[in-house]
Amino acid sequence: MELYEAMLVRLLTQHVGTIQVTFPDLEGTAAQLVECASYQALVKIQAILRDDTLSDPECF
């Protein structure tokens, strides 16, 4: 995999012009995707904070 990555990086850095990457099956804008991922992270943090079975004094 390292050789493949090195070859790809070299080809992309030597390429002059515009490189455009598309994901046809991906719905939503980049901002919407980041917002969704951020919300999911907050939900997980909230669940940890509400879990009374956890007792890590450094975190609380």
Q: What is the pLDDT averaged over residues 40-60?
A: 84
> Is 40 among the domain residues?
yes
Q: Please, which pLDDT band fits residue 60 given cuts at 50, 70 and 90?
A: low
Number of domains forming the structure of the chain: 1
Q: Can you give the pLDDT at residue 58?
A: 67
Q: Which residues of 29-53 are buried (b: 16+ CB within 10 A; e: fewer)?
A: eeeeeeeeeeeeeeeeeeeeeeeee
> Is 14 among the domain residues?
no
**Residue 54 belongs to what domain range?**
25-60
Cβ neighbour number for residue 10 with a 10 Å cutoff: 10
> Is 39 among the domain residues?
yes
Q: What is the pLDDT averaged over residues 22-32?
A: 87
> Is 16 among the domain residues?
no
